[in-house]
């Protein structure tokens, strides 16, 4: 028979999945940071695109020379 205390100690001392947990935490942090940045920038981008749309609609480019 195996000793349950020895099995528990070896289980608690094992570090096989520690790197996976670190990567999951780092990836979640990066995704959260990306969403936060997107939330901050989105309203400014909407204002900028509205300004560009207004400017493009008011500017008229002529492709002829002279009065016509």
What are the per-10-residue average pLDDT scores of the chain (68 residues)? 80 78 93 95 90 88 73
Whole-angstrom Cα distance, residue 6 to residue 17? Answer: 19
User: Which pLDDT score is estimated for 66?
Assistant: 73
- What pTM did the predictor assign? 0.52
User: Which pLDDT score is estimated for 1?
Assistant: 63
SS3 of residue 16 by DSSP: coil
User: Which pLDDT score is estimated for 51?
Assistant: 92
Whole-angstrom Cα distance, residue 23 to residue 18? Answer: 9
User: Which pLDDT score is estimated for 41?
Assistant: 93
Cα angle value 58/59/61 (rounded, 5°): 140
User: Which pLDDT score is estimated for 11?
Assistant: 79
Whole-angstrom Cα distance, residue 2 to residue 43? Answer: 63
Distances (CA, A) of 64 to 30, 41, 57, 68: 53, 41, 19, 7
């Amino acid at each position: 028979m195996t000793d349950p205390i020895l099995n528990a100690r070896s289980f608690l001392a094992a570090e096989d999945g520690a790197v996976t947990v670190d990567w999951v935490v780092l990836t979640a942090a990066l995704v959260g940071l990306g969403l936060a940045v997107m939330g901050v920038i989105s309203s400014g981008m909407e204002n900028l695109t509205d300004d560009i749309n207004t400017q493009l609609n008011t500017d008229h480019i002529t492709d002829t020379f002279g009065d016509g």
